[in-house]
Structure 1
Amino acid sequence: MTSSKPLTAFGPDFTFAYDDWLAHPAGLGTVPGDSHGAQVAIIGAGAAGVIAAYELMKLGLRPVIYEASRFGGRLRSEVFDGTQDVIAEMGGMRFPISSASFYHYLNLMGLQTKPFPNPLTKAAGSTVIDLEGETLFARDLNDLPDMYREIAAAYSDALEQGAGFGALQAAIRNKDAAQVKALWDPIVEAWDERTFYDFVTSSQAFQNLSFRHREVFGQVGFGTGGWDSDFPNSMLEILRVNLLGFDDDQRYVVGGVESVLRRLWTATPPCAHWPEGTSLASLHGGATRSRVTHISRAASDTSFTVRDQWDNEVAYEAVLATCQSHLLTTAIDVEEDLFAQPLWMALDRTRYMQAAKTFVMVDRPFWNDIDPATGRPLLSMTLTDRITRGTYFFDNGPDAPGVICLSYSWMTDALKLLPLSDEKRVDLALNALEKIYPGVDIASHIRGVPKCISWEADENFLGAFKGALPGHYRYNRRVYGHFMQADQPAAHRGMFLAGDSVSWTPAWVEGAVQTALNAVWGIMTHFGGASNAVNPGPGDVYQDQGPVALSQ
């Protein structure tokens, strides 16, 4: 079954078309006039926090954003010193076009994108794969040995044989909620405790191949960056990435993805209650509040007390926490009775992936120079089993400084770098690349200081993004569905969750956006509001289209 409709992140767990809800002329909904101006605390100025704040402002509520460190969360675009627009994307850097809700805001803010230079793509120009000392040059998959095409075919066959991939993806394209649920829910029932590695090794397609095929598959990746560091993860999580096209047609944001949130911060959309020209920035007096240290139920039992690091306390009628879930038990003193104990269990069981990046700025895109001995570019997008793992090149024009992501690694490979200085990380990367490209003097082109990050070392993150293990589906369902609060005890209403820790598709900004929109609906209804009947919101259809409940 095929479909000509564009693929979007429709489900598969909750089959709700967020992009259609956003685009509908009726808007997301309304809150009663007596709630206009009511304050809502939002913990975290990342994608989920800023987008939720933007939509709540439009409804006439007063979002108050608290940020512990840096605006942008994991959409962190750092400008190299001495430049205005030479960017290192420290967090999210590639954005699949199927992320329709995220692109709604990106397009609304007038930003441009370009194809991301992933391996074997036209945007990369050329790719080098270096495994066990053997170096292969390719411009597309056909330039590689037969083994690589056999691996690609085997994975495609395994998905089709094991999950009926074609029919399920066609149902997602068609936004056929009933069909998606009919095909997806049985897979959840059968695969909840299945790892990615088990799926690969037990599939008939890979059993017909050698261990070497599986080994290369783990080193080079199942898509545009998923290596064997994902092998222990839940196969449901990997299958979602494939089904929703997150590993295809990826783009990067010109000027840095953080610009999306910066522009939302200063944007002046039409709002209920607020006068023309109101922005998030103006509501905040130009700056977010400081780090939150304490959240509790206020004496009135109908509001919350939020305290920041300077002991300033403010009462709010609702709170939205978009930070990584582990911060709710480590960095923030959260009154235990605000959540039911099963929800605390789910939050504490959230497992994060480690990730490290090393960037340098160079004088120009010298990697495009042609080596007269080989007739090939001096350097190519590189996948390797060496410590760099993935090396990417960003061309800002022939006369402008370029950027090299010398190394992008996950899990154990990222932990190898954790205690090292930025300079040592660069040295290790250059030494590894020298073995792949002997005689190419990368260091002579480096300008300024490197930009490096290990997300697990940042006290405000404790990891890069969620990576669900087998058996985590029930936990994910608890936190994802927490925005549906009508049937919860009064003591557990009014505090909401959103962000990567809540999403079914961690590491992809679309998941953060969708959970933010869930929270917007939840907060809207918490204040007695509702979606327009002609444009029902996520909570209006959750009972019928929400994630399947597994037995306890």
Structure 2
Amino acid sequence: MHKPNRHPSGSEPPVTLFGPDFPFGFDHWLEHPAGLGEIPAEHHGKEVAIVGGGIAGLVAAYELMKLGLKPVVYEASRLGGRLRSQAFEGAEGVVAELGGMRFPVSSTAFYHYVDKLGLQTQPFPNPLTGASGSTVIDLEGQTYYAEHPSDLPAIFQEVAQAWADALEERAHFKGIEQAIRERDTARLKALWNELVPQWDDRTFYDFVATSRSFAKLSFQHREIFGQVGFGTGGWDSDFPNSMLEIFRVVMTHCDDHQHLVVGGAEQVPLGLWRHAPERCAHWPAGTSLSSLHHGATRAGVQRIARTAAGQFGITDTWGHERQYPAVLVTCQSWLLTTQIECEESLFSHKMWMALDRTRYMQSSKTFVMVDRPFWKDKDPDTGRDVMSMTLTDRLTRGTYLFDNGEGKPGVICLSYSWMSDALKMLPYPVEKRVKLALEALKKIYPKVDIASHIIGDPITVSWEADPHFLGAFKGALPGHYRYNQRMYAHFMQQALPAAQRGIFLAGDDVSWTPAWVEGAVQTSLNAVWGIMTHFGGHSPAENPGPGDVFDRLGPIALPD
């Protein structure tokens, strides 16, 4: 398998999404020649229901198939979940990334599958990176053009330095980062477990406002930090979130060194659906998830209940019930009380509290296809790019420019916004959204006629309006650590009552890193281990799985 090195060059080991809550090397487990494990032959061919055909469901289905089980995928909408790449009509390979679009290179378990499928990636055009070429920051009517961070006024450097100082001052940033690089589990757990009780019940804004490094600066510095942020853009939408969630993002470099998947991220889940593994227990060579399903998933799930025989009865949208010895639920947790009639006794009341308290963030994107990447043209008066990757306090918030290569149309994400900024768009059709975005951008680029370059129909999404999602991704609030710990640890079922065993959870909202695909992949691999052991299987001694080391490395449990 070809494995390109996407990590920044340097003599030190790279930072990866190794913990910090559960420092287990999922990438090493995946790539070990001994494999993930084995299931007793008498269980080969047995069916396992997979509720949801997003990346979590399909990674789990793919690995369970390799173990000799028969995954049966139920999908209410379309394969891929929030890895949704919508093609522009008539333009091959030119897509709007409606869900996940930028993937940190620290997501090593996710990139295991990207590379297995032979997909190409390239740096994402984030602000102030080489991939964007140039960046425009527009705040309070003042516009700043930069090709390098040093091109910005001193106040922006002061904000960046204050953020770095605050992380070091209050969160052992360099020590945790180094422990992640070295995969020093003892050091990492000691440092991280000290932060958990300190910061679980405190917000991101609290951290910023009470840090010494920011306290000596003006309110305008905090305002700039909220609007422009660091790494991928503004962070004020996350100010109400638990600070632990933000620590995880920066300590594992989720906010930095990101790539896009050329041709669309949806190729990863669709590729897993079609790919025939090199090595499969039980199934003949050439078997894929698609072939096991005769080319199509089953319909969405209407009901999950325990049957009289102790199996799980899964009833689909059309009223057809099938029984399974195990089931993996990967849909967003709210759907278990809104879209799916899920028998209450399958989870404890404390687990239901956790599932129902999950808080989802809103997100809106609007894309247009343009005749060419005209933003690379130079302004004859200034010599600058006529348009740049743009961060602003206007309605658009973030505007991204995608060059699809020689002779192909370009794509502009006119607006990418979250929470209240996304809700401003919710009532409007796509044409109105484009009009509002163009009006906002006209105030930043008065000489640029973006509309004259638009071809084809625009594409938009508001994830909170989709009944199969009800939001884009989880954003944990202060005090949510206990809920997250219950959901994440649920795959360890040895101590559960028999009536609650056999149903598993996965997805980025179960993970510690919501909104990042690596969390979905890692929780799906936890569930694979859980289902494997549910059938009497085990990981090889030379390649222990996540459940084999969970008692030693698992996340701490705060007292109720």
- What TM-score bracket applies, with the shorter chain setting the length? over 0.9
Q: Distance in 1 between matches of 2:333 and 2:11?
A: 38
Match of 2:89 in 1: 81
Q: Judge conservation of contact 1:365–1:398 (CA < 8 Å) in 2.
A: no
Match of 1:188 in 2: 196
Write the mapping of 1:224-239 to structure 2, written as runs, cut at 5 A: 224-239=232-247
Match of 1:334 in 2: 342
2:30 is aligned, of 7, 22, 36, to 22
Q: AA paired with 1:32?
A: P
Q: Judge conservation of contact 1:10–1:17 (CA < 8 Å) in 2.
A: yes
1:535 is aligned, of 533, 543, 553, to 543
Q: Distance in 2 between matches of 1:398 and 1:227?
A: 34
Over the residues paired in the alignment, what is the CA RMSD in angstroms?
0.9
1:102 is aligned, of 100, 105, 110, to 110
After superposition, the C-alpha distances for 1:142-196 in whole angstroms (9 at most, x for unaligned) are: 0000000000000000000101100111001111111100000010011110100
1:439 deviation in Å? Answer: 2.2
Match of 1:7 in 2: 15
Q: Distance in 2 between matches of 1:32 and 1:110?
A: 32
After superposition, the C-alpha distances for 1:249-268 in whole angstroms (9 at most, x for unaligned) are: 00000111111111111111
Structure 2 length-normalised TM: 0.97
Q: AA paired with 2:151?
A: D
1:305 deviation in Å? Answer: 0.3
- SS at the partner of 1:408? strand
Match of 1:364 in 2: 372
Q: Judge conservation of contact 2:167–2:173 (CA < 8 Å) in 1.
A: yes
Match of 1:307 in 2: 315
Match of 2:295 in 1: 286
Q: AA paired with 2:182?
A: N
Q: Distance in 2 between matches of 1:222 and 1:121?
A: 12
Q: Judge conservation of contact 1:48–1:512 (CA < 8 Å) in 2.
A: yes
Q: Distance in 2 between matches of 1:239 and 1:226?
A: 16
Q: Judge conservation of contact 2:225–2:234 (CA < 8 Å) in 1.
A: no
Q: Distance in 1 between matches of 2:292 and 2:215?
A: 60
Q: AA paired with 2:254?
A: F
- SS at the partner of 1:224? coil
1:397 deviation in Å? Answer: 2.1
Match of 1:208 in 2: 216
2:230 is aligned, of 210, 219, 222, to 222
Q: Distance in 1 between matches of 2:345 and 2:144?
A: 58
Q: AA paired with 1:279?
A: S
1:227 deviation in Å? Answer: 1.8
Match of 1:480 in 2: 488
1:378 deviation in Å? Answer: 1.1
1:399 aligns with 2:407: yes
Q: Distance in 2 between matches of 1:208 and 1:399?
A: 52
- SS at the partner of 2:168? helix
Match of 2:474 in 1: 466
State the percentage of identical aligned residues.
67
Match of 1:170 in 2: 178
1:66 aligns with 2:85: no
Q: Distance in 1 between matches of 2:378 and 2:29?
A: 50
Match of 2:274 in 1: 266
1:398 deviation in Å? Answer: 3.9
1:497 aligns with 2:505: yes
Write the mapping of 1:516-531 to structure 2, written as runs, cut at 5 A: 516-531=524-539
Q: Distance in 1 between matches of 2:85 and 2:511?
A: 22
Q: Judge conservation of contact 1:14–1:546 (CA < 8 Å) in 2.
A: yes
1:3 deviation in Å? Answer: 7.5
After superposition, the C-alpha distances for 1:267-323 in whole angstroms (9 at most, x for unaligned) are: 11121000111000000000011010000001102x100000111110011000000
Q: Judge conservation of contact 2:126–2:231 (CA < 8 Å) in 1.
A: no
Q: Judge conservation of contact 1:3–1:170 (CA < 8 Å) in 2.
A: no
1:7 deviation in Å? Answer: 1.0
Match of 2:7 in 1: none
Q: Judge conservation of contact 1:3–1:174 (CA < 8 Å) in 2.
A: no
Q: Judge conservation of contact 2:127–2:231 (CA < 8 Å) in 1.
A: no
1:242 aligns with 2:242: no
Write the mapping of 1:391-430 to structure 2, written as runs, cut at 5 A: 391-430=399-438
1:399 deviation in Å? Answer: 2.1
Match of 2:143 in 1: 135
1:153 aligns with 2:161: yes
Q: AA paired with 1:204?
A: R
Q: Distance in 1 between matches of 2:239 and 2:172?
A: 21
1:365 deviation in Å? Answer: 0.5
After superposition, the C-alpha distances for 1:12-54 in whole angstroms (9 at most, x for unaligned) are: 0011110010010000000000100110000111110000000
Q: Judge conservation of contact 1:44–1:322 (CA < 8 Å) in 2.
A: yes
After superposition, the C-alpha distances for 1:174-224 in whole angstroms (9 at most, x for unaligned) are: 111111000000100111101000000111110111100000100112330
Write the mapping of 1:345-364 to structure 2, written as runs, cut at 5 A: 345-364=353-372
After superposition, the C-alpha distances for 1:419-472 in whole angstroms (9 at most, x for unaligned) are: 100000000000000000002111011011111000000000000000000000
Match of 2:391 in 1: 383
- SS at the partner of 1:522? helix
Q: Judge conservation of contact 2:233–2:391 (CA < 8 Å) in 1.
A: no
Q: After TM superposition, what 4+ stretches of structure 1 lie above 4 angstroms from structure 2?
A: none
Can you give the 5+ residue segments of structure 1 that lack an aligned partner in the other structure?
A: none
Q: Distance in 2 between matches of 1:247 and 1:189?
A: 24
Q: Judge conservation of contact 2:302–2:315 (CA < 8 Å) in 1.
A: yes
Write the mapping of 1:447-458 to structure 2, written as runs, cut at 5 A: 447-458=455-466
Match of 1:257 in 2: 265
Q: AA paired with 2:462?
A: S
Write the mapping of 1:28-67 to structure 2, written as runs, cut at 5 A: 28-67=36-75
Write the mapping of 1:505-520 to structure 2, written as runs, cut at 5 A: 505-520=513-528
Q: Distance in 1 between matches of 2:131 and 2:408?
A: 18
Cα distance change, pair 60–226 in 1 and its aligned pair in 2 (3 A): farther
1:551 deviation in Å? Answer: 1.2
Q: Judge conservation of contact 2:40–2:536 (CA < 8 Å) in 1.
A: yes
Q: AA paired with 1:45?
A: G
Q: Judge conservation of contact 2:88–2:94 (CA < 8 Å) in 1.
A: yes
Q: Judge conservation of contact 1:128–1:136 (CA < 8 Å) in 2.
A: yes
Q: Judge conservation of contact 2:227–2:233 (CA < 8 Å) in 1.
A: no
After superposition, the C-alpha distances for 1:387-440 in whole angstroms (9 at most, x for unaligned) are: 000000000124210000000000000000001000000000000000000021
After superposition, the C-alpha distances for 1:471-498 in whole angstroms (9 at most, x for unaligned) are: 0000000000000001100000000000
Q: AA paired with 1:295?
A: I
Q: Judge conservation of contact 1:3–1:173 (CA < 8 Å) in 2.
A: no
Q: Judge conservation of contact 1:72–1:258 (CA < 8 Å) in 2.
A: yes
Q: Distance in 2 between matches of 1:334 and 1:221?
A: 41
Q: Distance in 2 between matches of 1:207 and 1:196?
A: 14
Match of 1:325 in 2: 333
Match of 1:296 in 2: 305
Match of 1:434 in 2: 442
Q: Judge conservation of contact 1:503–1:511 (CA < 8 Å) in 2.
A: yes
1:225 deviation in Å? Answer: 3.1
